[in-house]
Chain A
Amino acid sequence: MTFDFSAFWSALTSEAFFRGACITIVLSLLSHGVGILISIPVAVIVDRGSGFVPGVLKSLVGILRGAPTLLQLLFVWNALPQFFPIFREPWFTPFLAAWIALSLNEAAYQVEINRAALKAVDPGQEAAGKALGLGRFQIFWYITLPQAMRVAIPPTVNEFITLLKITSLASVISLQELMSTASRGVSTTFQFSEYYAAALIYYLIMVYALVFLQGKLERKYSWDRSKAETSNDPGVVQKAMALMRRA
């Protein structure tokens, strides 16, 4: 058993791997971005009321969280065109299908994160905002949201890291993301360790970058003494290792 370093290196620096990694990160960012945008109003509506609309939204979230992500990907890619002819056009690419499926899937998970985060904000904050004459939207934007964000950042970044790895499922709908690029390389050369190692390096770089970003965000949104002074924070490496273990 030998490790062909030059094969590893040429895979690592190949355009195909770089492209695959770009597709992985762009798909993750777009899906999570859309997911978050959908999830915030849904979280607010689901939390505020009982009635028809919150009920329907709750069931949708339940379905999206219950169904395997793989099933959702296959459903969007194969079943949507059966129902709606418009999805039979050439513009409906695997990337677009994966984006739609993963956005909805992420939105469902993010709704729960957001609800918990919104609940964590003391109701006295809203009362203080109202008493000062601020409108509902102003209270949400300037008072509730920044405080909820602080609570939501760590689980949101975790969620994003999970998503980054879940994008590999999109290889079943023939999206050429990072993992399928590696598998394709393996299937022609049988150099497993070289190609998987190259993919691993890309995944690690992406996850480390995220963990670094999380640290920065958390510092930005830490406003009490205890937080600002923490020095016995686990290092970036330990955090990344812990996260890699999860999924």
Chain B
Amino acid sequence: MPFQNRDTAMSEIIRLANVGKNYGDFRVLQNINLSIAKGEKIVICGPSGSGKSTLIRCINHLSPHDVGTIHVNNVELDGKNKNVGAIRCEVGMVFQNFNLFPHLTVLENCLLAPMKVRGKSRAQAEETAMRLLGRVHIAEQAHKMPSQLSGGQQQRVAIARALCMEPEVMLFDEPTSALDPEMVGEVLDVMVELARGGMTMLCVTHEMGFARKVADRIIFMDAGQVVEIATPDEFFDAPKTDRARNFLSQLMH
């Protein structure tokens, strides 16, 4: 690796410059510029179809961008397999529908990638996995199948599974919207703990209590663009744009 200025290398972990993406004629993302510092917690919100999922899926190349550049940890996401692989190792992701592997036990879910991608031994991987399952308060379920767990438990396993790769950044795409209301809290608690531990996090969520509690910045998106970036207090108490005001008033009802 070339010599780099340690300060900028340490502080900025994700940079999007002029990022755009189209599906045919439809512009899902336009001119996104974003710099995210290590340890920062970002909450992304906006109306349905505004491109929130697409934006965070660009960051680990699940939805490749067409225009602009994305750097993660100073590696450019240029579609080369080597770079994509390196970035995916550093970027964990939690999905709305959990996407646990149903044919593997909870523990095996957590072992697969560390062993096959990171090349860890089973013993090493298991030690990490059990520690992280403990951190999401589910270690005692390690030998169950995912289908034997509640939604909230499954989502906590999904968080642990992503953490087992020891990523630098965690992406969350509406992690609580598929959950029954009584299970939302247990998942948010885990996410708050993770935030307190210093993890860099990008969360698409409409849980405004969570946003106020942990977010350093809120990104408000509409129609494929970043419309507003503000601190939670600014955003919730005094949104600058009409579109954000509309969105917030709808959210209250």
Contacts and interface: CB of A to CB of B under 8 A. Distances in A.
B60 A131 contact: yes
Interface string A202-232: 0000000000000000000101110000000
Contacts of A225: 145, 147-148
Interface string A123-161: 011011011111100100011001100100000000000
Contacts of A127: 62, 95, 99
B160 interface: no
A133 B112 contact: no
A143 B116 CA distance: 12
Nearest to A122: B99
B101 A128 contact: yes
B172 to A, nearest CB: 12
A125 B101 contact: yes
B162 A132 contact: yes
Contact of B103 (A128, A131, A146): A146
Interface residues of B, number: 26
Contact of B95 (A124, A134, A223, A224): A124
Contacts of B95: 124, 127-128, 131
Count class of interface residues, chain A: 20 to 34
Contact of B99 (A124, A133, A224): A124
Nearest to A149: B103
B49 interface: no
B171 to A, nearest CB: 8
Interface in A79-132: 122, 124-125, 127-128, 130-132
B99 A125 contact: yes
Contacts of A147: 101-103
A150 B85 contact: no
Given A127-B99, A128-B99, A131-B93, A142 B112 contact: yes
A212 B103 CA distance: 22
B160 to A, nearest CB: 12
Contacts of B91: 131
Contacts of A223: 102-103, 145, 147
A133 B148 contact: no
Contact of A131 (B92, B101, B116, B148): B92
B27 to A, nearest CB: 23
B117 interface: yes
B165 A221 contact: no
A133 B113 contact: yes
Contact of B116 (A122, A125, A130, A142): A142
B103 A221 contact: yes
B77 interface: no
A224 B95 CA distance: 21
A224 B85 CA distance: 32
Residue of A122, A125, A133 contacting most chain B CB atoms (<10 Å):
A133
A133 B145 CA distance: 22
Interface string B192-224: 000000000000000000000000000000000
12 contacts: A122-B99, A124-B97, A125-B99, A131-B88, A131-B91, A131-B93, A132-B165, A134-B113, A138-B116, A221-B103, A223-B147, A225-B147
Shortest 7 CB-CB distances between A and B: which pairs? Answer: A132-B113, A128-B99, A131-B93, A133-B88, A224-B147, A124-B99, A133-B117
Interface of B: 60-62, 85, 88-89, 91-93, 95, 97, 99-103, 112-113, 116-117, 145, 147-148, 161-162, 165
